[in-house]
Amino acid sequence: MRKAFISPTKYVQGENELLNLGYFVKTFGEKALLIANQDDVNRVREKLEKTAAKFGVEFIETNFHGEASRVEASRLQELAKKESCDCIIGLGGGKAIDTAKVVAEGKNLIIVPTIVATDAPTSHSAVLYTEAGEFDDYAYFMQSPSVVLIDTTIIAQAPTRFLVSGMGDALSTYFEARATSRAFANVNAGLPCGAREGVCPPAKSTNTALALAKLCYETLLEDGYKAKEASDLNVVTPALENIIEANILLSGLGFESGGLAAIHAIHDGLTILHDAHGATHGEKVAFGVICQLILENAPSKELYEVLDFSLSIGLPVCLEDIGVKSITDEQLTEVAEKSCIPEESIHSMPFKVDVEQVKSAIKVADALGRDYKLRKQEK
């Protein structure tokens, strides 16, 4: 059996670590294309100026448009060529990071998250969206980022919603890795040449990936609430550091080498709902966790453990929590159909899943989540 595991070349996490960014740029050259929206650049400008001066490097700003689309990536690739940049930096949230991956095409890439809302930073894959913000496709590259650099003081200053959203994304890691392992399904780590059929032989997950995914879940349960409290106060604590690592490193390695299943497929289906566009990736994923647990008829103890955790930190447990106050049967069918297209990860479940099953799981997850939330509020 062929197995595969993939990871970034270097992961560095610590307080004020952004001051060392210039050192890593210097390993590639002297000029870096900085893909980040202007607000994120302004938040960290003082540190960028200090590290540029200290290490003698130059950052080329790009006025990133905010959507990880093919159109935006093409524009930035032309800019990188025009400016003769030696490396690419993706600084900010998931959209800037994924755009940087597309622009870099797997080479000389430094990822600097300013929020930990998704597990995108460590992976060799990117999620592409249309200009309108709907899910488009996945892109895969030859390798994971060269450097992932985390400044925990910056993360602590970010709105807590982003940290909680990242925990929503990380919450899916163990359950999807477990399902993929049980199904002996293929994982993205085995596709360094891209997702095209026949280019690279498929690979299964490793015990290492599943162990990391399980540790991710255990860390969330242990430190999630404490980390949220630290974030609310804009301070760095051991619990916050552990959750930053869980959101980015454990979840990133866990999903990519452990596999995706129904949760992220249902997330992709939910993106077609206009009312859900205000919810973050991780918030929609968190609801998808409940849907997958319903699909696989997970033990009640496990289901209610997830619900309790989600409610304790403010993650969605029903459709209304992601902005969808009502949904027609036609809309629900469209969500389920998109979740079940041939390319989707839902087919990595250890049993066959069809559109009607997904519709039923979403309905039950929504009703169960609403009821459980109401009962908790009444106590």
Superfamily of domain 160-378 in CATH is Dehydroquinate synthase-like - alpha domain (1.20.1090.10)
Tell me the per-residue pLDDT of 250-277, one tens digit each, with 9 for 90 and over: 999 999 999 999 999 999 999 999 999 9
Residue in 124, 281, 321, 366 annotated catalytic: 281
- Give the whole-angstrom CA distance, residue 271 versus residue 352: 23
Q: Work out the mean pLDDT of the chain and round it to a whole number.
A: 94
Catalytic residue among 86, 124, 151, 267: 267
pLDDT digits 0-9 by tens, 119-157: 989 999 898 988 887 778 888 898 999 999 999 999 999
Is 10-157 CATH 3.40.50.1970?
A: yes
268 labelled binding-site residue = no
Inter-residue contact 100 to 111 (CB < 8 Å): yes
Q: Could you tell me where in the chain the CATH 3.40.50.1970 domains are found? A: 10-157
DSSP state of 297: T
Annotated binding residue at 110? no
* 261 close to 283: Cβ distance less than 8 angstroms: no
Give span(s): CATH 1.20.1090.10, the chain: 160-378
Q: Which residues contact 197 (CB under 8 A, 6 or more apart)?
A: none
Q: Is 264 a catalytic residue?
A: yes
Residue-level pLDDT at 194: 45
Is residue 196 over pLDDT 80?
no
Mean of pLDDT values over 279-301: 97
pLDDT-derived band at 199, boundaries 50, 70, 90: low
39 is catalytic: no
Tell me if 11 is assigned to a ligand binding site: no
Q: How far apart are CA 316 and CA 297, in angstroms?
A: 20
Q: Are the CB atoms for 167 and 248 separated by under 8 Å?
A: no
94 is in an annotated binding site: yes
Query: What share of the chain has pLDDT > 90, as a percent?
Result: 87
275 appears as a binding residue in the annotation = no
Determine if residue 74 is labeled as part of a ligand binding site.
Answer: no
Per-residue confidence (pLDDT) for residue 376, from 0 to 100: 85
Beta strands in 3-124, from DSSP E residues, in sequence order: 10-14, 31-35, 58-61, 87-92, 109-113
The answer to whether the annotation marks 264 as part of a ligand binding site is yes
96 annotated ligand-binding residue: yes
- Catalytic member of 264, 268, 321, 366: 264
Active-site residue, from 40, 86, 151, 169: 169
Q: What is the pTM of this model?
A: 0.92
